[in-house]
Amino acid sequence: MSTVEATLKSEPIEQVIHQSETKHSKPKLAVDERLDWGGSIPFFMVHVIGILAIFTGISWAAVGMCVFMYYSRMFAITGAYHRYFSHRTYKTSRFFQFILAFWGASCAQQGPLWWAAHHRHHHKFSDTEQDIHSAKLRGLWWSHVGWILCKRYAPTNEEAVKDLTKYPELRWINKNHGVAPLILASSIFFFGVFLGHAFPGLHTNGLQMLCWGFFTSTTILYHGTFCINSLAHLLGSVRFKTGEESKNSLILSIITMGEGWHNNHHRYPYSERQGIYWWEIDMSHYVLKVFSLFGLVWDIKLHPQEIYAEARTGEKEIAV
């Protein structure tokens, strides 16, 4: 059993028990689960500045940058934070691992160790009382952003990511997770300044690029990502009997570069690929396949035949 499998299955993690809940009452939030207004200021400011982008004017260059920054960083969340750091579904070099971590941190969704630790916890306790962001038990708002905007889940549970904490560079990025977004935002601003001077016909400038390319795209990226914690456990179809509420959704898969095949993923999280058939569009998988052609990643894990048999019959043939 790999380290990640062991973590998913048996490693003790702090239990979050809401003793004030009864079957029919609305769960009461503990003090440290309430909205942390002070700590949430950066999150809300990204949204406000993203919306203020309408006052900087709009250009095809700015919209193009927004779309590019959305999808290139969605890959960083799905291909790096999720499929690599959380599940270790392929291998890479230490140098490219660092690139993946930095790229992921540029999404302003905390560091790779924080992200992976919380996500492993979700797989271990999906839709039970201990699941940090169960949409079934705690509703849409909580599963989408509520759990992120409180103090309780801010620390990184290093016990859950022992396979990653051994790398000092990953610990550094995790601790200083604001550095990558700052570098990215500054780079986009100066790129906009350059374009404004070198190609005035593009009708863009530094501020416009910064707002659309960083703040608007980061805002949309937040909600695209968070849809997997919320909507992917509420809307869609069910192929596998996984014992929790995960669903498959083509629309969510297009928005999130393949993460919408969430029921497939909960059934077999050890596969890098999340769509199991060719028509289940999984753009993160295609990107990683291209990376593998260049030797950047290797040993990409896929679904075994037993999973395909189970998909056909709806029954488990053997335990996988």
Q: Whole-number minimum distance, CB 263 to Zn ion, in Å?
A: 9
Nearer to Zn ion by C-beta: 97 or 246?
246
Q: Whole-number minimum distance, CB 223 to Zn ion, in Å?
A: 16
Q: Whole-number minimum distance, CB 115 to Zn ion, in Å?
A: 11
What is the 8-class DSSP label of residue 53? G
Nearer to Zn ion by C-beta: 196 or 258?
258
Nearer to Zn ion by C-beta: 47 or 124?
124
Q: Whole-number minimum distance, CB 221 to Zn ion, in Å?
A: 18
Q: At what angle do helices 60-75 and 179-198 cross, to 10 degrees?
A: 150
Q: Report 226-255 residues binding Zn ion (CB under 5 A).
A: 246
Q: Whole-number minimum distance, CB 276 to Zn ion, in Å?
A: 15
Q: Whole-number minimum distance, CB 245 to Zn ion, in Å?
A: 8
**CA 121/CA 240 separation, integer angstroms:** 21
Nearer to Zn ion by C-beta: 246 or 256?
246
Give the H/E segment covering residue 298: strand 297-298
Nearer to Zn ion by C-beta: 134 or 216?
134
**Do the Cβ atoms of 238 and 247 come closer than 8 Å?**
yes
**CA 139/CA 229 separation, integer angstroms:** 11
Nearer to Zn ion by C-beta: 145 or 211?
145
Q: How many residues sit close enough to Zn ion to count as binding (CB under 5 A)?
A: 1
Q: Whole-number minimum distance, CB 134 to Zn ion, in Å?
A: 9
Binding mask 12-41 for Zn ion (x = CB under 5 A): ------------------------------
Q: Whole-number minimum distance, CB 237 to Zn ion, in Å?
A: 15
HEC string for 138-169: HHHHHHHHHCCCCCCCCCCCHHHHHHHHCCHH
Nearer to Zn ion by C-beta: 217 or 263?
263
Footprint of Zn ion (CB under 5 A): 246
